[in-house]
Amino acid sequence: MIIGRRFATALPAAFVAVLTCTFPAYADEHAGASGETEAPPPQVNLVLDVSGSMREKDIDGGTRMAAAQQAFNEVIDAVPEEVHLGIRTLGADYPGDDIAKGCVDSAQLYPVGPVDRTEAKTAVATLRPTGWTPIGYALRGAVEDFGDHEGTRRIVLITDGEDSCGEPDPCDVARELAASGTHLTVDTLGLTPADDKVREQLSCIAEATGGTYTAVQDTGQLTERLKQIVDQTADNVVIENPTIIEGSGDCADAPLLTAGVYHDREEFGEHRFYRVQLAPGRELRASVSVAADRAVDPDYGVLLRALDDTGRELARGSEAGHGRTDVISTGLRYPATEDAEATVCLEVSTSFSAPESVQRAPGLPVELTVDLAAAPDAPSDVAAHGLARGWVPLVLLTVTGLLAGLLWGALRRIF
C-alpha cells in the first residue's frame, strides 16, 4: 500500500481524508468500520551501522557510536506503547578482511515487538564499532524481522557511510521493497557531514520507498529525528490491505473491480484503466491517490475519469499542484442512470515528470478506492448540495440584481 507522509509508506490515512471531504456519506456509512477489527500495531525496525568508521570522534566531541547509543536510549524510553520496536545491526560482529564474511555481517539485536526498555537499552550498550557496511544485505534482513506482519512497517537506517559491499545494491533492494506493494517505508539518517556519495545513496533508498533522508549534525538532532519518525509511525493507520492489481492500457482489457482498496504503479505519462460493474440504484464513488516517492518536477497533477463503454466521459475529478508534495488525490461520484446494469471504466492519468537522473521504475504508487453505495434521490440531493431549480429562483435572482443596481446608482447620485 502506499503508506505513508510518506506511500510511504502513510498513504491510506490521506485517502480517508479525501473521501470524507469529497463524499460526506462515506463517513456516515463507514463510521463504525474501524471498531470492528483492531488494526495490527505499527512496527519500527532500527537498523544501526556498527562498522569500524563509527569510531570517528566528530559528533559533539565524542564518537559517532556514542551519539547513536545515546539517541537510541532516549528513543527507547519515549517509544509509544502501541508501537512494536526492533533493532538490527550491520557490521557489528566480524572485524576481519574477508569480504565474503564482512558482507553478511548483519544480525537482529532486539526482536520487533513490545519493548522491554531495560533489555533493549542493555543490548544497545554492548555495541562496539567493528566491521563492514553491508547496507543492502541488512535491509533484506530487516524486512524478514517483521515476519508476516500486515500493518504499517517502517525501517530506519542510521549509518555514517555508503555500502561497502556493492552486492546487493542498496538502491536496488529499496526498489524491490517498493515494488512489493507492502506497507513498508525506509527512512535514512546520515552521520557523515557533506559526503555527496553517502547522501546520494541514502536519498535513493529513501525516495524509492517514500521515506525521508536526513543529514544529522549532532546527537540532539539524531534523537529528535528518530523520535519524530517513531511517533509518525504510531499516528499512521492502515485501514486494510489493498489488493495489488495491474491496470490496462485500454478499457476493453481492464481488470474488473468490486468495492475495495487497490494498489497499482503507474509510469510517468501513462494512462491506466479499470472497470466497475454499476448496478441500478447504486452510485460509484471512486478516489485515487498518487504518491511522489522520488524527486519530481515542481508542477504535477492527477486526473480520474469515469467513462462509458463508448469512451464518453461520465464524470471526472482532478487535482493539480506546485512545489514539493508527498501525495496528491482526487475523487468522483457517478450514480446509475439506467435500469440495466452498466460497465463504467475508470481512467487514471497523471502529469508527473522528473529529471533524467531520477529512476523511472518502478512507477509511482497509485491507490485506487472503489465504493458502490446506494444512489441518493436526485432532486433532494441537488437541493441539498446545489442551487434551487426551476425558473422562479432565476427570476427572483434577476430582479434582486436589478434592484440592487438601481439602488446603488441612486446612492451614488445622492452622495
User: Which pLDDT score, from 0 to 100, does residue 126 have?
Assistant: 95
Instruction: Note the pLDDT tens digit of each residue in 111-154.
Output: 999 999 999 999 999 999 999 999 999 999 999 999 887 778 89
Whether the Cβ atoms of residue 352 and residue 300 lie closer than 8 Å to each other? yes
Count Cβ atoms within 10 A of the Cβ of residue 134 and give its class: 0-12 exposed, 13-18 middle, 19 or more buried: buried
Burial 171-197 (b: 16+ CB within 10 A, else e): bebbbbbbeebbbbbbbbbbbbeebee
The domain 40-235: what is its CATH number? 3.40.50.410
Locate the domains of the chain by residue range. Answer: 40-235, 243-379
User: Which pLDDT score, from 0 to 100, does residue 414 have?
Assistant: 57
Pick 243-379's CATH classification: 3.40.50.300, 1.10.3720.10, 3.90.1150.10, 2.60.120.380: 2.60.120.380
- Looking at every residue in the chain, the average pLDDT score rounds to 81
Q: Greatest CA span in the chain, whole angstroms?
A: 97
Cell of 37: 477489527
pLDDT grade for 21, boundaries at 50, 70 and 90? very low
Of residues 199, 88, 87, 206, the one with CA closest to residue 137: 88
**How far is Cα 254 from Cα 247, in angstroms, rounded to an integer?**
6
Q: How far is CA 281 from CA 26, 215, 285, 335, 377, in A?
A: 17, 55, 13, 8, 9
User: Which pLDDT score, from 0 to 100, does residue 356 have?
Assistant: 84
Task: Say which residues have a Cβ less than 8 Å from residue 50's Cβ, sequence separation at least 6.
Answer: 65, 89, 90, 91, 92, 127, 128, 129, 130, 131
Instruction: Note the pLDDT tens digit of each residue in 235-278.
Output: 665 545 678 899 999 999 999 998 888 999 999 989 999 999 98
Please indicate whether residue 28 or residue 218 has the higher confidence score (pLDDT).
Answer: 218
Locus of grid cell 529525528? 225
The answer on pLDDT for 22 being more than 80 is: no
